[in-house]
Structure 1
């Protein structure tokens, strides 16, 4: 799963000469928490809510509102931006990008190749990717099975579902401490839930849950 399939491609950015006040307005109006800083088509920095907060005068300041606004309108992004920006390639695996974000304790990675920025991947993009990969928001049935962790078990499950004329849309596998595997399956097809539960149980599969799912938009 490459980063390019999940990154945000339409990126809002600022220049180093943008004022802090202007950047603050842009972030508030577009509900953003960070902005890449671009100069001559090159990524040169990153500004976040945190860096902007640090640039603001302390609440204990004796400055008037007028003076504070004047200061923010004079301060440039180049004076407060993060210059050592961690980036990722568009061809990198999404898992590697997530690992980098966790390791560096950051919520954003500009996507840069050969000095050119083609997008940005954020924690919100990661959440959206998980929902898409798991099949969340797809109409059908969500099936949770507990099976033996052995060769051929997936083939048996697939055969059982296709025999019921059910199409597998998504399949996630996780290990259990008991030496078994948990299967989370999103399936497309009309069938009676209880009939399917009984069919799978008769074939030796432990059915943890089956429930119907509805179409939902992923923002």
Structure 2
């Protein structure tokens, strides 16, 4: 699962010279919360809803709404943008993006290929990827096999047992629970009982 598989490719960008009020309006129009800042083909920064909020005067200020709006029309993106932008290669694994976001406490990474921005990936994109990978929303049930002592060929044997009985798997995930591995199988409703019985008879610890 590469970052390129789940990133947003249709980028909405701003120039450093755009006013902050213009950037806010662009975010509203496109229902997004962050914008790469581009100087021609080069990314020079990133502006987000959070950065803009932090740049606004405190609610305790004596400035009126009109004065605040005036400041936004006079302040440019270049004045407040994040210049030290964390990025990730398009070919990186999704897990790398998750780790990098958690490490730097951020929720967005511009995606790079050949020194150019080719997309953007956010924490919402990663959540969507998980739902897609797990088969969420598809009809079916989940069977779980506990693997107390992991060894080579376990998943192959599961597939072989089911194939021998003409049974199929919609999705398969392997997760860690304490010191054990658990294989989660998403299977069709009408095959659930057969799958569980056959796997149990084959010696698997079906949860």
Q: What's the TM-score, normalizing by structure 1? A: 0.84
Deviation of the 1:15 alpha carbon: 1.1
Superposition map of 1:61-210 within 5 A:
61-148=61-148, 149-177=150-178, 180-187=180-187, 191-208=190-207
Q: 1:54 to 1:154 in 2, by over 3 A?
A: closer
Per-residue CA distance 1:65-87 (angstroms, 9 max, x = gap): 22221111111111000011111
How far 1:190 moved relative to its partner?
6.4
1:40 deviation in Å? 0.8
Q: Could you say what secondary structure the match of 1:168 adopts?
A: coil
**Structure 1 residues 153 and 89: alpha-carbon distance in aligned structure 2, compared to 1, 3 A threshold:** closer
Q: Which has the higher helix share?
A: 2
After superposition, the C-alpha distances for 1:150-197 in whole angstroms (9 at most, x for unaligned) are: 33332321122213322233221234445x42101223x563433332
Corresponding residue number in structure 2 for 1:29 = 29
Quickly say closer, same or farther: Cα 1:196–1:95, change in 2 above 3 A.
Answer: closer
Q: Distance in 1 between matches of 2:124 and 2:178?
A: 31
Whether the 8 Å contact between 1:166 and 1:190 is mirrored in structure 2 is no
Contact 2:143–2:192 (8 Å) recurs in 1 = no
Structure 1 residues 31 and 68: CA distance shift in structure 2, 3 A: same
Is residue 34–residue 49 contact of structure 2 (8 Å, CA) maintained in 1? Answer: yes
Structure-2 separation of matches of 1:202 and 1:168: 18
> TM-score normalised to the size of structure 2?
0.89
Give RMSD over aligned pairs: 2.0
Change (3 A) 1:63 1:176: closer
Q: How has the CA–CA distance of structure 1 residues 37 and 163 changed in structure 2, closer, same or farther, with 3 Å as cutoff?
A: same
Mark the runs of 5 or more structure 2 residues left unpaired by the alignment.
none
Contact 1:20 1:52 in 2 (8 A): yes
Residues of 2 paired with 1:193 and 1:3: CA distance? 33
**Structure 1 position 123, deviation (Å):** 0.6
Runs (4+) of structure 1 exceeding 6 A deviation are none
State how many pairs are aligned.
Answer: 206
**Inter-partner Cα distance in structure 2 for 1:85 and 1:165:** 51
Measure the CA separation in 1 of the matches of 2:92 and 2:147.
32
